[in-house]
A and B are shown apart, each in its own frame.
Chain A
Amino acid sequence: MATPGLARRDRPWLIALMLPVLVIFAAFFILPMVRLAGVGAGGPRGLAAYAAIVTEPRYFRSLLSTLALSAGVTVLTLAIATIAGVFLQRNTFRGRSALIAMLTFPLAFPGVVVGFMVIMLAGRQGLIGDISRLLTGQKLVFAYSMAGLLTGYLYFSIPRVILTIMAAAEKLDRNLEEAARSMGASAWQVVRDVILPGLRPAFLSAGAICFATSMGAFGTAFTLATEIEVLPMTIYTEFTLRANIALAAALSLVLGVITWLALALARTAAGSSVAASA
């Protein structure tokens, strides 16, 4: 009746239960990815297609603007989510849970819907345009510019990040803050030297998710149809409009490696404690 006996007797069953997932994953993910890599290298450029993202000015520009946008969104989202998240975790007041619900419910909105939300705010018939016309006589429309993309990416990033920050803020040791305060630290010093360092692992994991999601986001840019080319839009254009299939394959594989690396690096940096939530 010892455990090893039970585990050994169960082994065929365990393999049988695992098999369907492995078959599905091999057939519909691993094999297609291998094919993607092969097609990427099989175009007129050969393996050089993988370098095109830096050697070809058009793709390189697209890569740079996507990286800049994603990094900017990550920094802004972390700042916004930390101010709001720590505040909500630390204070009890009427309407608190309603605020939390409002801040987290767009969590699963698809990118296309987020794009439409930006049009509602900053499009040609948008709220911001109406308000600015009342105030200044000028109609402010920025949905279809870089600012519009930034707005959309903030929209889908804030709900994701705020949950992680709130969970991390809940686990912070309040005694450390008390100790710092009793030793004469100002409120700002407590924030800078105690709270923010304590939230570091959450910043790394939430920041990486935010960055990776922004790099790969397609629906929002698609709906806004901006003049700024983000990498997923570039790939989409190459594939469908230019029928440049090898290059689209190579670019999307490079993009996949970038997002995967961002997540993997953050996980290593933050230590195994956040592995489950990253």
Chain B
Amino acid sequence: MRARRRSRAFHAQLVFTVLVAAFLVVPVLMSITAGLTVNFFQGVKSGLTLRWIGEVWRLYRDTITLSLMIAVACLAVDLVVGVPAAYVLAKARSRWTRLVEEALVLPIAVPGLATALALILAYGTWREFRTSWLFILVGHVLFTLPFMVRAVLAVLSSIDLRTLEEGAASLGASFWQRFTGVVLPNCRGGILAGALMVVTLSVGEFNMTWMLHTPLTKTLPVGLADSYASMRLEIGSAYTVVFFFMIIPLLIGIQLAARPRRMAGVGEESA
């Protein structure tokens, strides 16, 4: 019914926005194509193949499994130490907790390269630790913890925690019963959003990991850098396709989880 004619300004902005979106999406589509074609230089007409994906699996399987292992371990640590910490920060509002909250964000504010260098200088001589995957895990935990804490804190600050807890306490619930029976179920949404973010960031972390890794502890992004530098374009592309395949479901999950609320703290992870 409303045959409202869009103005010229509308169309100009639409074209602009589409161009920006194309700038972001076209190279992704190109690398997917390159990873699946026989010869990228000759184009798609040279035929489609899964050969490069197979090659990536053969060459870099270990990096994929290591990245998944570190991401899961990182999530576990963040859940066990980060969620309780967020609860304490939400409950005990004081100068001290605010200071802790500020401090925890420092590993995001400081470039990953600096944090990695600091870790190497402090613990690099401890051989067993330096050469184990736990060394990388430590870096990932530092970097992802603030995202978990903030996601949970955002939810806890939006509910009336005190009334809920006093209600439970007046019914005789112990601290532990209140924490597991009242607090945790109420911050499920925040935990989910934080968890998706943590796994996504851990799987993609490069800045720190490049310094922390050893030849035997290569993660997926480390392998990617390696393949971009030393492999033919098709293999680098196929490897990137594998990475997209792992990360895009997580990114969609983040967008869905963030829909009811604003993404808490998204956008600060270093590139």
Q: Which residues of A contact B (CB under 8 A)?
A: 1, 3, 6-7, 9-10, 13-14, 17-18, 20-22, 24-25, 28-29, 31-33, 35-36, 39, 80, 83-84, 87-88, 91, 93, 99, 101-121, 125, 127, 153-161, 163-164, 167, 187, 206, 209, 212-213, 215-220, 222-223, 225, 232, 235-236, 239, 245, 248-249, 252-253, 255-256, 259-260, 263-264, 276-278
Known A-B contacts A99-B18, A105-B248, A239-B117; the reply to A218 vs B207 at CB < 8 A is yes
For A217, what are the chain B residues with a Cβ–Cβ distance below 8 Å?
111, 207, 270-271
Shortest Cβ-Cβ A-B pairs, 10 listed: A216-B111, A32-B118, A160-B267, A17-B84, A32-B122, A252-B114, A117-B27, A36-B118, A256-B110, A120-B27
On whether A219 and B225 interact (CB within 8 A), knowing A104-B255, A110-B204, A260-B110, the answer reads yes
> B34 to A24, Cβ gap below 8 A?
no
In the complex, number of A-B residue pairs with CB atoms less than 8 Å apart: 276
A76 to B170, CA, bound (A): 57
For residues 146 through 195 of chain B, which have their beta carbon under 8 Å from a beta carbon of chain A? 149-150, 154, 162, 165-166, 169-170, 175-176, 179
Instruction: Kindly state whether residue B243 has any CB partner on chain A within 8 Å.
Output: yes
Q: Which of B48-56, B58-66, B68-76, B101-109 contacts A (4 or more CB under 8 A)?
A: B101-109
The proximity string for B residues 82-100 relative to A, scoring 1 for CB distances below 8 Å and 0 otherwise, is 1011011001100000001
CB distance from A186 to the nearest CB of B (A): 12
CB neighbours of A163 from chain B (8 A):
263, 266-267
Collect the chain B residues with CB atoms within 8 Å of residue A115's CB. 228
B84 contact set on A, CB distance < 8 A: 17-18, 20-21
A213–B228 CA distance with the chains assembled, in angstroms: 23
B residues with a Cβ closer than 8 A to A are 9-10, 13-14, 16-18, 20-21, 23-28, 30-31, 34, 40-41, 77, 80-82, 84-85, 87-88, 91-92, 100, 103-104, 106-107, 109-115, 117-119, 121-123, 138, 141-142, 145, 149-150, 154, 162, 165-166, 169-170, 175-176, 179, 200-201, 204-207, 210-211, 221, 224-225, 228-229, 233, 236, 240, 243, 247-248, 250-251, 254-255, 262-271
Contact B228 A116 (CB under 8 A): yes
By a CB distance below 8 angstroms, the chain B residues around A25 are 103-104, 142
A-B contact sample (4 more), CB < 8 A, given A110-B224, A116-B228, A219-B206: A32-B122, A209-B268, A236-B211, A252-B113
Contact B141 A125 (CB under 8 A): no
- Could you say which residues of chain B place their CB within 8 Å of the CB of A17? 84-85, 87-88, 179
Distance in Å: Cβ of B158 to nearest Cβ of chain A: 11
Q: In the complex the two chains form, is B225's CB within 8 Å of A36's CB?
A: no
A220: chain B residues at CB < 8 Å are: 271
Given A36-B118, A155-B24, A212-B109, decide whether A120 and B31 contact each other with a Cβ distance below 8 A: yes
A24 to B139, CA, bound (A): 11
Q: Which residues of A contact B221 (CB under 8 A)?
A: 110, 112-113, 219
CA distance A187 to B255 in the complex (A): 33
A177 to chain B: closest CB distance in Å? 14
CB–CB A117/B31 < 8 A? yes
Of all chain B residues, the one with the shortest Cβ separation from A5 is: B169
Bound together, the chains give a CA A239 to CA B80 distance in angstroms of 35
Report yes or no: B121 in contact with A39, Cβ–Cβ below 8 A.
yes
Contacts of B236 in A (CB 8 A): 116
> With the chains together, A263 CA to B265 CA distance in Å?
13
Closest to A91 in B: B10
With a CB–CB cut-off of 8 A, which chain B residues contact A33?
A: 115, 118
Max chain B C-beta neighbours (<10 A), residue from A14, A112, A120: A112
A158 to B221 alpha-carbon distance, docked (Å): 21
- The answer on a CB contact under 8 Å between A1 and B111 is no
Residue pair A223, B169 in contact (C-beta under 8 Å): no
17 A-B residue pairings within 8 Å (CB atoms): A21-B81, A21-B149, A24-B141, A29-B118, A83-B13, A91-B14, A105-B24, A107-B267, A218-B112, A222-B225, A225-B229, A232-B111, A232-B207, A235-B113, A236-B113, A259-B111, A277-B265
- B217 CB to nearest A CB, Å: 17
**Is the CB–CB distance between B123 and A32 below 8 Å?**
yes
B85 partner residues in chain A, CB cutoff 8 A:
17-18, 20-21
Q: Shortest Cβ distance from A29 into chain B, in angstroms?
A: 6
A111 and B271 in contact, given A1-B169, A17-B84, A277-B264 (Cβ under 8 angstroms): yes
Option from A3, A24, A83 in Cβ contact (under 8 Å) with B17:
A83
CB distance from A225 to the nearest CB of B (A): 8
